[in-house]
Each structure stands twice: as C-alpha cells, then as structure tokens.
C-alpha cells in the first residue's frame, strides 16, 4: 500500500493547448483519482446577449474558440434561422458544408501535430502543421481570414466562392491530400507512435455510452454516432458513414481522426460537385421569438446550442454546450488507474478545447 501524493497537472503544460488544471492523486506512479478544475479562461460570453443584437451574436459565437470557430458561428445562425423560419438558399448550404469540412480538416491536423508532439515525435508535428498551413491558405483565399472565417451570417453566408476559385482550390486540394497521405501513414504504421498510444486510456463501449462521450472519443470506442447524420446544412445530400474504431484506446481515437480527415476531403469533393448556382443569402426581417436547440458535429464532437428569443432584437439566452465539456467526465474516468506518464496522452486524446468548454 503506497503513500498517496497529490500532483498538480496544468494549467501550464507542454501538451495542453489551453489551460486546464487536474489534481492527480497518485500512489507509486499509478493515478488513483483525478479531479479537474476549470475556469482559467472563463469569459462569460453568454452574457453578451444583453449587449449584442442577434445578428452580432454570430460574431461573438465565432470567437468562442479559435480552432472550431466556423461551426460555432454556423450553429448560432442555424438556431436563429430555425426560430425565425428562414429558408437558407441551397448554394449557401453547400458553401457552409465546404467551410465546415475545411474547419474540421485544419482542426484534426492541429490535433495530430499535438499528438505527435506528445509522443516526442517533433518532426511529424511540424510536418502536420506544414500541411495545415496549406489548408489555412485555402481558407484565407475563400473567406478572407485564416482562422476566424467571418463567413457565416443569419440568412446565408457573407461571401461566395466563384466557380473558378473553386476549381483552383480543388486542384490544390488534390496535392494536399497526397501530402497528407504520407503523414497519415506515419501515424498508422510507425512503431513509436503505436507504442505510445496503444493500450492507453481504454474506455469500453458501455462506459462510453454511460458517461455520455461524444465525437471521436465515443467513435473510438465503437459507438456509431455522428451528428452530421441529422442532415443540417447540405449533409442530407452527401454520402458518408461515421468513422468507427473498436479498441477504445488512444490509438483508436487517433485513427478515427486520421480517417476523418480523409472523409472530409471526400465530402468537400462531393459538395463541390453538387453545388448549385443561385444567391447565397436571404434578407432577414423581424426579430426571433421562440426557442430551439441546434446540434452540430464539431471536430471534437456534438455541440448543442440553446437559443431563445423574445421578439426583441436581443436574445433571451444563448447557451453553448461544447463537446469538450461533455468529454470531461469520460476523461476523468479514463485517468483513474493509469500510469502517471500516460496522463498527458490521455488528456490530449479527448482533444481538449478548454476555451470552448468555458466560454
């Protein structure tokens, strides 16, 4: 029976992109219990509904997080459009899908770089981010901003991608995909990556279901759930299956994200082939009155927005429950019983986006 020590993990740690604090109770290098502590980047963004009218809230929503920013703006717009009964034009829905998938690719590439860094494989980290730069260049060319796109608004999108730019972007994407394939092969086959991630942080399918895990954290444990199947934006017309792995350890979650990038490239190609012509926005008249829960699939999982309007230009409530917030419970359960040296890998494997979790 060893002596119990409490080791603080975070808020500053090389593996964490954003600050979270964990108190790890350990006995002889084995973690017995982990207690999370949030609140370092809590900005209280939900209270801004008192000052910003409903169209400006889309800008606030986009700035909740830098990595998943487009989909926050999309979720806010979708919620308000459902409340007001606005029908978004077909072309805008396909454009939103293309930008969402670009957002997913760049977020997963960021995570893959961080995962390689957690394993100590720094050249793979820089290669992943090198490929990510090319995706950000595509985003800048089509929307004007590298990370904060500013492209979504209530009633459609603020910009259009003309046919010529789209063809050019697709041509470049083919080269990017070939480049990405060589990196993905390293994640899949390299001995040191496998050794670092396999068997670590195992979560069985029953546990994942009970704890309410979302996103790749759940799909890596065999739960076939992807909120894109609800059919928002243009996903109803595209053909895809949720990417699942069965092992439930960090390697499985890594593989889910690697394969999802391939799936996103394919989805962008499908959407670009089917995109119709037409306008990209409709005029918004009146104020929202009513409530709606809008659900989306962010790179980290299912995000849900509760938007309530009362007929004035200020919303009553704008509540965001981000996927990282839902994955904190599973993370705490995974940490119990693991070795101390595996803690950074487990914390990273749920893809913690704490600024989203705390808004």
Partner 1 sequence: MLLLPIVKMTKTVMKSLLGGSACKMYPLRPPTFFGGTRGPVEIDPSKCVLCGLCAKKCPAGAIAVDREGKTWEIDRLKCIVCSLCADICPKKCLVLRNDYTPPVTGETKDVFRIEPVSKEGHQDQGKSKG
Partner 2 sequence: MIEKQETISITIGELLEKVCRLAGEGYRLVQIGCTRLDSFQVDYTFDKDYRFLNLRVLVPADKAVIPSITGVYWCAFTYENEIHDLFGIEVKNLNIDYAGNFYRIAVEAPFNVSRPGDEEKE
Residues found near partner 1 in the complex (CB under 8 A): 52, 56, 59-60, 63, 130, 137, 140-145, 148, 150, 158-159
Among 23, 138, 18, 25, which Cα is nearest to 66's? 18
Piece in contact with partner 2 (CB under 8 A), picked from 35-43, 121-129, 240-248, 344-352: 35-43
Among partner 1, partner 2, none, what binds residue 93 when CB lies within 5 to 8 Å by partner kind? none
Q: How far apart, in Å, are the Cα atoms of 84 and each of 81, 96, 285?
A: 5, 19, 9
SS3 274: helix
| Residue 289 touches partner 2, criterion: CB under 8 A | no
**Least gap, CB of 324 to partner 1 (angstroms):** 24
Q: What is the gyration radius of the CA atoms in the chain, in angstroms?
A: 20
Which C-beta is closer to partner 2: that of 12 or that of 123?
12
d(CA 147, CA 107): 10
The total number of residues written for the chain in this structure: 359
Check binding of 330 to partner 2 (CB under 8 A).
yes
d(CA 225, CA 326): 15
One residue of 3, 14, 47, 189 binding partner 2 per CB under 8 A: 47
Write down the least CB distance from residue 335 to partner 1, Å. Answer: 37
For 48, the 3-state DSSP assignment is helix
Establish if 297 lies at the interface with partner 2 (CB under 8 A): no
Instruction: Report what 308 binds from partner 1, partner 2, none; CB cut-off 5-8 Å by kind.
Output: partner 2
Write the DSSP string, 190-256.
-HHHHHHHTTSS---HHHHHHHT--THHHHTTT----GGGG--TTGGGS-------SS-SHHHHHHH
The interface with partner 2 within residues 310-329 (CB under 8 A) comprises 316-317, 319, 321, 325-326, 328-329
Site for partner 2 contains 30 (CB under 8 A) = no
Residues within the interface to partner 2 (CB under 8 A): 35, 37-40, 42, 44, 46-47, 50, 78, 82, 209-212, 227, 229-232, 292-295, 302, 304, 306, 308, 316-317, 319, 321, 325-326, 328-330, 333, 358
């Amino acid at each position: 029976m060893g002596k119990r020590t409490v080791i603080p993990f975070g808020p500053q740690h090389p593996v964490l992109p954003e600050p979270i604090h964990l108190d790890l109770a350990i006995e002889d290098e084995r973690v017995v219990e982990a207690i999370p502590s949030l609140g370092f980047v809590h900005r209280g963004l939900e209270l801004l509904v008192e000052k910003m009218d409903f169209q400006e809230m889309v800008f606030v929503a986009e700035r909740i997080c830098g990595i998943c920013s487009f989909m926050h703006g999309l979720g806010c717009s979708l919620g308000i459009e459902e409340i007001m009964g606005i029908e978004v034009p077909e072309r805008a829905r396909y454009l939103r899908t293309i930008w969402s998938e670009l957002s997913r690719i760049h977020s997963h590439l960021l995570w893959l770089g961080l995962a390689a860094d957690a394993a100590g494989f720094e050249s793979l980290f820089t290669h992943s981010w090198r490929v990510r730069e090319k995706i950000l260049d595509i985003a800048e060319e089509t929307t004007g901003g590298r990370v904060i796109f500013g492209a979504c608004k209530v009633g459609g999108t603020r910009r259009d991608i003309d046919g010529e730019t789209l063809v050019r972007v697709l041509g470049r994407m083919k080269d990017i995909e070939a480049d990405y394939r060589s990196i993905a092969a390293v994640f899949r086959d390299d001995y040191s990556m496998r050794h670092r991630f396999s068997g670590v942080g195992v979560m069985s399918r029953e546990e994942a279901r009970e704890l309410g895990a979302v996103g790749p954290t759940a799909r890596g444990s065999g739960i076939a759930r992807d909120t894109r199947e609800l059919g928002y934006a243009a996903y109803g017309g595209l053909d895809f299956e949720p990417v699942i792995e069965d092992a439930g350890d960090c390697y499985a979650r890594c593989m889910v994200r690697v394969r999802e990038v391939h799936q996103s490239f394919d989805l962008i190609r499908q959407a670009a082939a089917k995109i119709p012509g037409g306008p990209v926005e409709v005029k918004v008249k009146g104020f929202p009155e009513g409530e709606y829960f809008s659900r989306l699939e962010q790179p980290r999982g299912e995000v849900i927005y509760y938007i309530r309007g009362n007929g004035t230009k200020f919303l009553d409530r704008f509540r965001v429950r981000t996927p990282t917030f839902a994955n904190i419970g599973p993370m705490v359960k995974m940490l119990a019983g693991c070795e101390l040296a595996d803690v950074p890998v487990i914390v990273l494997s749920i893809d913690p986006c704490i600024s989203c979790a705390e808004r």
